[in-house]
Amino acid sequence: MNIRLKLATIFLPLGLIIAAVPENTTKVYKLTAAELLVEVQEGAQFMSTDEIADMVVQKDPSFQLIDVRAQDEFEKFHLPNAINIPLADILSDEWADFLDQDVKMNVFYSNGNLKSNEAWMITRQLGFENNYVMQGGLNYWAETIMDPKAPVSTSPDDEIAKYDFRKGASMALGGGAVSSTTSKKKSPKPVIKRKKKKKRAAGGC
């Protein structure tokens, strides 16, 4: 048997098997690992607890807090008006239009940075641009906003001003910036306008 015939007997069945495999239906990532690495190194995804506290106190309608912890953790305590999208559900079609829209700025948070940063990395690789991370998570929120440490009298003016702001934010939030809930129901899904999808060009091969 010549070499061409041998190769044909190997590759022809292989080609038929590949053709029979259903099309990949997983979500397509739009950023390469290298592009994502650059963004991670820049840390552009992070928002400070001070920025977020200010938006919470002002009841800024342009942003939405998203708690990516498990539902039971969320039910024990969460930030005011936050919704719960556990990290395990971040790719669920149920939340796709909410995470990929240009109406509100989403801010992920968890106990620290890990889970919320993972949620951001996944959505960023999908090409979603309106998602951010609360730097330090709930642990840092408790330390900086709920229990700020008073600076010494010789501290620079900006440190004293920062402390005054944090103390005021804590008081404005009534000492309950981490709010409890006894509800066992999943957080309600917010109403979000769907992002307009680009029409595909007609024709083609």
114-161 pLDDT, tens per residue?
999 999 999 999 989 899 999 999 999 999 998 888 888 888 888 889
Q: What is the pLDDT of residue 174?
A: 67
Q: Is the pLDDT of residue 191 over 90?
A: no
Tell me how many domains the chain contains: 1
Two tokens at 103? 């109406």
Residue 165 lies in a domain: yes
- Which pLDDT value is given to residue 8? 55
Helix, strand or coil, per DSSP, at residue 30: coil
Is 133 a domain residue?
yes
Terminal Cα distance for the chain, rounded? 39
Q: Which two tokens stand for residue 28?
A: 């397509």
In a domain, 107, yes or no: yes
What percent of the chain stands above pLDDT 90? 41
In a domain, 140, yes or no: yes
pLDDT given at position 129: 87
Q: The whole model's pTM is what?
A: 0.71
Q: Is residue 191 part of a domain?
A: no
Domain enclosing residue 82, as ranges = 33-172
Q: How would you write 23-80 as a 3-class SS string?
A: CCCCCCCCCCHHHHHHHHHHCCCEECHHHHHHHHHCCCCCEEEEECCCHHHHHHCECC
DSSP class of residue 169?
A: H
87 φ, ψ (degrees, to nearest 5):
-50, -35
Q: For residue 159, is it within any domain?
A: yes
pLDDT, tens digit, 9 for 90 and up, residues 51-90: 999 999 999 999 999 999 999 999 999 999 999 999 999 9
Q: Among 20-34, 92-106, 108-122, 164-178, whose mean pLDDT is lowest?
A: 20-34
Domain presence at residue 183: no
Is residue 25 one of the residues assigned to a domain? no
pLDDT score, position 22:
43
Q: What is the CATH number of the domain that holds 46?
A: 3.40.250.10
